[in-house]
Amino acid sequence: MVADGNDGRRLTRREALRTGTGACAGGAAMLGLLGPFAEQAVAEQLKRYGRTALDASAQNAILIVTDSTRADYLGAYGSKRGLTPNLDALARDGLTFTRAHPEAMPTGPARNTLLTGDRQFPFRDWHPEPYLPKNPGWSSIPRSEPTFLDLLERHGVTTAYVTDNPFLVGPRYTRVQRRTDHFVGFVGQTAQYSARHRAPVPAAQVAHFLPPSLRGGSGAESALALYLAYAPRGMAEDDYFTARVFKAAIDLLDTLRQHQPFVLVVDGFDPHEPWDPPPAWAQRFAGENPLDYEPLHPFNAPIGAMGQLGLSSAVAKRVQGLYAAELAFADHWIGNLLGKVAGAGLTDSTAVMYTSDHGVLLGEHGLIGKSGRHIHKEIHHTPFIVRHPARKLAGRRNAYFASTNDVAPTLMGFLGVKPGRSMDGEDLTALFDRSRKGEVAPRRYMTASYDNYVMCHDGRWLLTMRTDGHDKQLFDTRVDRRETRNLAAARPDVVRRLTAALKRDAGGPLPRFTRTGAIP
């Protein structure tokens, strides 16, 4: 299903300008056809909103987001798996942040951060909403809060968003859908959060893709039955969700290049579970399946203990292979998109940013999935790459604690637009200019929220705990790289220091949560 955000929505200010000036065929050439008062009004509008279509000096920006992507699976972050040649090439042309992390997790809270440039941590204003998970942090964007798409649109930038993210195409984000110049959404990934969906496939067709412990009425079975209704077996490779999303973005570029400057967001849900790569990609990166079933979704989301589910190490290895194959398939299509950018002559005028919302455990700690209680490096260490149009700092690496709230102000910085209000994030374009490096505020700690848990990392010590102060876990990540030894009792001094940093970033005591919302 494809929804185009232009259908039945209001004209943007820019569209009204274009309509009133013959699509701005030089803008000023039309002023003589208007009365004196109207001529002055349009001139003021053009001055205020700046650039017109096909401005030779236009600067564009593309944001690519893949869901559930671990940094350690990318070659640019040290992986030897050979999964991501296109992202690795992007890193060679750009600046790679080696200690990036999302400040709010998982998918929904992270998207709110990406879109607004504002921290969601510590979820102090959370309350449950329909069609969203009932976990702290899962809220729609308040009507009073503009997204970076809104702010750019007000300054004459064409906006586009392509996604199969089930929440962005659902009923809680209609404002994003309607107020973006070009919105293309594909329904079918975890479709239970949609207002309407197809009838799920019969349980007998699902059994082959689940471990025996999850057959017969589990949440994983019902979720997979819905997914398979949208992704039937035997479909062509180009019909997989990743291909559909990136093909739509590639097609949009032909329109966007006629209406520069533009910002294009390509928000792909893979490699999120179900881990369902096309067969040829599974064969290449996961090999032969030694199991008598294919574990596309081997746990009840959000997380499952392998021991409780009867999952062997062979299952974990197969899951890792399927995940790798799905990421490799996404990287292939990222390469296709960037190839289109080059073929359209847009590379030298287009900034490219790539990141993810969180990672996922794939057997580490005996777990598959993700949760607030287990915010290990596999979940919080995400890729973050920025390519400057002029290839400034190409191939360089930076240990700054970059985060998801930096994305919006950085995109706006590339487009030369200052937010009309203060954003929590940093404009990282300052790093590309020696005279502006002092504009990026230093960060000694990374702090983040996930459900009713928080984390703090100083580059060595990682603290996770519930917001009520219980269930503290402290890891010395320099010597305990697998994060298996909890030193909270042995190092109360470190716990106190990191807890104080959490409270400073939270602006006071951490909230507590009930079923009805946050208690500040």
What is the structure's pLDDT at 37?
37
Contacts of 419 (CB under 8 A, 6+ apart): 117, 148, 151, 408, 409, 412
Residue with tokens 């929804």: 3
Cα separation, 263 vs 249, in Å, equals 11
What is the structure's pLDDT at 8?
31
| Domains of the chain, CATH where assigned | 51-444 (3.40.720.10), 452-520 (3.30.1120)
For residues 325 and 337, the answer to whether their CB atoms sit within 8 Å is no
What is the structure's pLDDT at 273?
97
Residue with tokens 């009867």: 310
What is the structure's pLDDT at 47?
38
CB neighbour class for 344 (10 Å; exposed up to 12, middle 13-18, buried from 19): middle
What is the structure's pLDDT at 275?
98
DSSP bridge partners of 264: 62, 160
Phi-psi region of 369 (alpha: psi -120 to 50; beta: other; left: phi over 0): left
Cα separation, 399 vs 397, in Å, equals 7
Structure-token pair, residue 55: 């401005």
Query: Which H or E element spans position 368?
Result: strand 367-369
What is the structure's pLDDT at 454?
98
Question: Digits of tens for pLDDT over the chain (520 positions)?
Answer: 344 333 333 333 344 333 333 333 223 222 223 333 333 433 333 333 333 333 445 689 999 999 999 999 999 999 999 999 999 999 999 999 999 999 999 999 999 999 999 999 999 999 999 999 999 999 999 998 999 999 999 999 999 999 999 999 999 999 999 999 999 999 999 877 777 789 999 999 999 999 999 999 999 999 999 999 999 999 999 999 999 999 999 999 999 999 999 999 999 999 999 999 999 999 999 999 999 999 999 999 999 999 999 999 999 999 999 999 999 999 999 999 999 999 999 999 999 999 999 999 999 999 999 999 999 999 999 999 999 999 999 999 999 999 999 999 999 999 999 876 779 999 999 999 999 988 999 999 999 999 999 999 999 999 999 999 999 999 999 999 999 999 999 999 999 999 999 999 999 999 999 999 999 8
What is the DSSP-derived secondary structure letter of residue 227?
Answer: H
Cα separation, 384 vs 356, in Å, equals 7
User: What is the reported pTM?
Assistant: 0.90
What is the structure's pLDDT at 420?
61
